[in-house]
Amino acid sequence: MNTEDLLRNVGLDRYDINARLKPALFVLLPVFLTVAFWIPQARTIVGGAVSLLGACGLLYLMAQTARRFGRSVERRMEDKAGRKHSARLLTHADQTIAAETKERYHAYLRRHGISI
């Protein structure tokens, strides 16, 4: 079992790993380097294991907190950004935009790597 499979089992998908977990690790790296430099006892195997387990727990907590915060901001901004309205306009069920025009929009998005 690789690391990515392990992280998926605890509820983190590829997006969570890249968008939340890696930046959190990047933020914590200076803290761990400072501790390793100033506290020689932390350089032992037990100190390293405790640091690793603490980092994993802290990173998971930070990733989930960022996810929860991001979702709440997204909900607050939905009306301002009009995302639901835009997405609804591009569905086949909505008749606001003519079907031919909508197909042209879909083709344009597909050419630019966005599949609907």
Q: Are residues 54 and 110 in the same domain?
A: no
- CB of 109 within 8 A of CB of 116? yes
Enter the pTM of the model: 0.40
- Give the pLDDT of residue 105: 83
- Give the pLDDT of residue 88: 67
Q: Are residues 53 and 87 in the same domain?
A: no
Residue 66 pLDDT class (50, 70, 90 cuts): confident
pLDDT above 70 (res 96): yes
CA 22, 43, 61: angle at the middle one, nearest 5?
Answer: 30
Q: Are residues 105 and 62 in the same domain?
A: no
Q: Are residues 60 and 100 in the same domain?
A: no
Q: For residues 84 and 67, what is the distance between their CA atoms, to the nearest angstrom?
A: 20
Q: Are residues 66 and 112 in the same domain?
A: no
Q: Mean of the pLDDT values across residues 7-22?
A: 73
- What is the residue range of 25's domain? 3-78
- CB of 76 within 8 A of CB of 70? no
Tokens 């390793």 appear where? Answer: 36
Q: Are residues 52 and 66 in the same domain?
A: yes
Q: In 77-104, which positions are buried (b, 16+ CB within 10 angstroms) versus exposed (e)?
A: eeeeeeeeeeeeeeeeeeeeeeeeebee
Structure tokens at 51: 């640091």
